[in-house]
Amino acid sequence: MDERRSKARHRVLKAGTIEFGGGAIDCTVRNLSDHGAALDVTSPIGIPEHFTLFVPADGTHLSCNVVWRKEKRIGVRFG
């Protein structure tokens, strides 16, 4: 499989919350770079294309755009 990212991602295991339109879905941040992340979710159904990722351990809120979706994981780009 060819790596298409311009920046390497670092493996992490942090709790996160996908926030959108008054709703929230728990997730796990599996890898992270300055430009994006992979998030484990129970189901990608119902997660919008654009949302805010809150990572309590870091106290960060990141604006996200979904780049890809798999059965229980989504890839996002920040910005």
pLDDT number for residue 3: 47
Which among 63, 72, 56, 71 has a CA at the least distance from the CA of 36? 63
pLDDT in tens, the chain (79 residues): 444 545 677 899 999 999 999 899 999 999 999 999 999 999 999 999 999 999 999 999 999 999 999 999 999 999 9
- Rounded distance, CA 63 to CA 58, Å? 15
